[in-house]
Structures are given as structure tokens and as C-alpha cells.
Chain A
Amino acid sequence: MSTENDSQGKLWEVFTQSKQGAPHEHAGNVHATDAEMALQNARDVYSRRGEAISIWVVPSDQIVATSPSDEDPFFDPSNNKAYRHPQFYSTPKGVRGF
């Protein structure tokens, strides 16, 4: 991602919370030149019809992410090592519903 500001401003990632206690979930992104504008744009683009009760905006370049080349070593769950997975425990009846 270019860190140069183009004429549209910086890119910001938008997270919206749909109800009290629910997690903020990634909704998409917006352009803006400052934090206040990012919040307003996020409100207009992702919560115009009352979809959110709270919004976070984060400058996209502040997000640390894995790269596609990490895929194999980073995400390999070591399926050949059965002891890493809790499948030998039986689930008590009381919690089956979950």
C-alpha cells in the first residue's frame, strides 16, 4: 500500500458494532484526511440506516497483517500431532447445547 497521500486522503479501516456487547467487526474502509472525517465517512457509508451503535476507524497503514507468503508455516495447525487437539476429551451432556 502506498503511504503517499493521493487526492482522496488516507485509507482507514472501519469496524462497526451492531449491538451492546457484540464485537466490533470489520465493515470495510473509507478515504479521509483526518480522524474526524474518517468517522463521519464511516458513519455515512456503513451505518446510514442505523446498522451500528459504535464505530472504530483505524488508519489502514497501522494494521499489522500477515502476508500471503506466510501461509504455510504460519497457519499450519500441525495436524499430524494429534496431542495438540483436544479431541480425546468427551463433552459433558450439560454443555452439548453450546
Chain B
Amino acid sequence: MTNNLDNKMREALFEYLLRLGDDRLILGHRLSEWCGHAPILEEDIALGNIALDLIGQSSAYLSLAAEVENKNRTEDDLSYFRNEYEFKNLQLVEQPNIDFAYTIARQYFFDVYEGLFLEELAKSKFEQLAGIAEKSIKENKYHTRHSKHWVLRLGDGTEESRNKIQTAINDLWRFTGEFFEETEVDEILKEKNFAPDLKLLKQKWNEIINSTFEEATLSIPESKDFATGGRNGIHTEHLGHLLAEMQIVARSFPGAKW
């Protein structure tokens, strides 16, 4: 199906697949930083499992991106040999772990969005994209169950746990506007019913977040100032450090096998 794309569509699709791949690659890498550091052994395994799911999904999107680009690059080239400004992930997913509450708040925001997004992406007329979405839906259900229950537990827990998750929510809230931003790329893909309309997801996302926060006795920040730029390769200072660590082995020993 990637053979008969015209150039404009090929470029738009490549860009779109980078976004999807990068979101999951960067978030998966962030979660993997918990390996050996989580509060208890069982949670260590849970975060590791979710990280692996996300990196697996990113691998599917990026190898499709490489195929669409058709310039002899592989998913590994795309992961390890692009620079910061070439990454198209949301700024939310590159935010540092800081503590367990930040990690959970970041994850829950993303998981709820991902659930709504995948449901729509599974209807894509670009079959390979719909296929990846279909496969990820099951994994996302588990991820959301995990992060949602932690939001409830921390919010409706002790005073300390409530303060920690509320602080994390307040700090990360400004990165949630990017979920629903569209660019020209979305317009090109929407015309062919390849990509969902992100604006339609916003209300549902807010409803779900509201109802969980209410149950968890947490409040939604009132600020309407949202960060932007990730989709254009503009990032916070945290992405560069993450990439340095993620890419150093592949760049120091190009083509190494183990």
C-alpha cells in the first residue's frame, strides 16, 4: 500500500508516523528509567512491562515510517540517528520522571488520550495504520487501568500522596493542550480518512479526566496556557539529555550487533 502514494501524501504520512512512533519511544524510554528504582519490586515490573509495550508500538510505527519514506532507512536509524529537532513527540512524554506521582500523572494523561485516539485510528483507511492501532488497543486498556488506579490511590490516599499527585498534575497540565493540536499534516491525512480528527477527542478526554479526578478528590488546574512545539521539533530542555543516553551506544558503535 506504500507503493502508490504521491509525494505530498508520502511526506505527510512519514511525518505523521514519526509523531506516533516518537511519542511512544520517548515515553517508553522514560518509563524504562524506573527499572531497578520503582517503589516496590512489583511496580518495577509493571512499569517495565508498560515501557516494553510502548517501545514495541513505536517500533511498529517507525518501521512503517521507514517503509513510507523509502530512503533505505530502518526503524533503528530513525530512533538512534535523528537529532532533537527531528523528533516530533509531544512535550509531555519527554518530561522527567521526578517522582512516582509525576510519572503516574504523565502516564494517565497520555493513556486516556491514547485510548480515545486508538479507537479512531483503528478506523483509518490506511490499512497498516489501522492494524497497528487495533493491536495496541488491548495494551492501552491495561495501561489505563494501571495508571487510573494509581491516580485514585494517590489522590484519595494520605495527605502527602494527595499533595504529590496534585503538584504533578498542576505542573504537567500545560503539556496536555498539545494532544489536540493539528497541523497541515493532519489536514492532508484527514482528507483521505487516514487520520482521526483530534479536535473531536478533546471533550471526551476532559470528561474522563474530570470524572477520575473527582473520584480521586483532585482538582483540575484552571490555567489555559498550554505549551506547544513538539510536533514541529521544538522541545523542552529535557529531550536532549534523554536522547544522549538513549542514543550513545548506537552512535559510538554504529552497526554493532549483540
User: Which A residues lie at the B interface, using CB under 8 A?
Assistant: 7-9, 30-34, 36-37, 40-41, 43-45, 48
User: Shortest CB–CB separation between residue A40 and chain B, in angstroms?
Assistant: 6
B42 in the interface, Cβ–Cβ < 8 Å? Answer: yes
User: Shortest CB–CB separation between residue A16 and chain B, in angstroms?
Assistant: 15
Q: In the assembled complex, which residues on chain A have CB atoms less than 8 Å from the CB atom of B145?
A: 40
- Taking A8-B40, A31-B40 as contacts, is the C-beta distance between A48 and B149 under 8 angstroms? no
Q: In the assembled complex, which residues on chain B have CB atoms less than 8 Å from the CB atom of A48?
A: 45, 49
For the complex of A and B, list the 10 residue pairs with the smallest distance between their C-beta atoms, beginning with the closest: A41-B42, A8-B40, A44-B46, A44-B45, A30-B42, A36-B149, A44-B49, A31-B40, A31-B42, A45-B45
User: Which B residues lie at the A interface, using CB under 8 A?
Assistant: 39-43, 45-46, 49, 142, 145-146, 149, 153
Q: In the assembled complex, which residues on chain A have CB atoms less than 8 Å from the CB atom of B46?
A: 40-41, 44
Bound Cα distance from A90 to B122, whole angstroms = 64
Using CB atoms, name the residue of chain B closest to A8: B40
- Taking A34-B153, A45-B45, A48-B49 as contacts, is the C-beta distance between A40 and B40 under 8 angstroms? no
Say whether A33 contacts B42, CB under 8 Å: no
Bound Cα distance from A31 to B43, whole angstroms = 9
Bound Cα distance from A7 to B40, whole angstroms = 8
Contact of B149 among A7, A9, A37, A44 (CB under 8 A): A37
Bound Cα distance from A43 to B149, whole angstroms = 15
Bound Cα distance from A34 to B157, whole angstroms = 12
User: Shortest CB–CB separation between residue B62 and chain A, in angstroms?
Assistant: 24
Bound Cα distance from A31 to B45, whole angstroms = 12
Q: In the assembled complex, which residues on chain B have CB atoms less than 8 Å from the CB atom of A30?
A: 42
Q: In the assembled complex, which residues on chain B have CB atoms less than 8 Å from the CB atom of A34?
A: 153
Using CB atoms, name the residue of chain A closest to B146: A40
User: Shortest CB–CB separation between residue A60 and chain B, in angstroms?
Assistant: 14
Could you list some 23 contacts between A and B, CB below 8 A? Answer: A7-B39, A7-B40, A8-B41, A31-B41, A32-B42, A33-B153, A34-B153, A36-B149, A37-B149, A37-B153, A40-B46, A40-B145, A40-B146, A41-B42, A41-B43, A41-B45, A41-B46, A44-B45, A44-B46, A45-B42, A45-B45, A48-B45, A48-B49
Interface-central residue, A33, A36, A44, by most chain B CB under 10 Å: A44
